[in-house]
A and B are shown apart, each in its own frame.
Chain A
């Protein structure tokens, strides 16, 4: 009884209303996880089947075109994830929405992983096609810079003990780094080096449908994978923050409760 009447009951109302939106999010997002996992698995199955058994070798690249089916989706995701982070950063800065912070934090390590896959598969594709694993051209360099930015953001999140304060600072840096996204996009035209021009351009498709189809399905599959993982990761981050708040609260209450108990003991 005494615990409920403690003066701290006023504080959590604030804290409760701040977490209200994440609470609602936890409610509905739970029902999306299983369907998303299912869809991801299906699209990977179809995509991989197309990629290996139902697509011809490219007339120029030969069989190595199959590397493209992982490389292109991941290169696309590398940029899309950053765009999502940049949008969340705006949400975090303008509306101070805690869910935007969480979305930003949960996306960073995933983006780093997708970018790593894009760089790795790009190197393995470059070797047989261009005769080199790596070239310092605009697109590859800017993608590498993107990778470093992702890692930097992950590191930055780790250095802040107060995550909601850190979120605003990190949001600023995320937006500054967003300049890199158009650079990657236009690097091929600006530098005109080794890298292929974009497959999908305003002039329409530049490749046959047999190659385009698996590419599209794999892109869908990897995007679904990202959405699934992002959702799970956001939920985990909300859980983590809740557990932290509860622990801190419990420690404070423990101090107050033990003080109250001892006080009683002394009076007797």
Chain B
């Protein structure tokens, strides 16, 4: 029952600091790429934002690996970028939203008809793949890197914004690049729709941080009623409210 000689704050043990301090990697002995890839790539802005924001423990991963998370963050940010109107996908926590969704029934297609046989479909017959969304996503993210490496000799997160847009464009429209078991378009559509969902769904799900997605477009979230506002000829700006407010 003795106090520790050195009580340690959480930062002392963050992965980055650990690596820096322990000397385990400094000696250049990084094993089979084991440790290197575990360190977040963009450390600078990370350090700053950590200092200011209150900690949200929900911002951790249930599904992605670090690399997948970073690729998702980069790709969604191109789809929904930060600009003068407000935060982009990254600032909104969209990649966390996607991570949590893919870990759940949505990623498992739990409510979809997944019995075979699977045939090639006409355009009007809807998706026929028996691959689950989580798998399509993982293959798609790998595809983004593969294609980036092929065309720009670098992984997706290391490309310039213009190059990233070019890669995404290819995935959105072209047929020049093939994924195993899914089309790039299938993946891209999933990526795009989940980006929009993550920007605008209730913050309960891990995206739409601080309701900033809603604030940008003056959407008031979950209000009890609009009997007054609805008859107003002027636009009425209402501070948004999340489902959390209903918990009393």
**A and B bound?**
no
Report which B residues bind A (CB closer than 8 A).
none
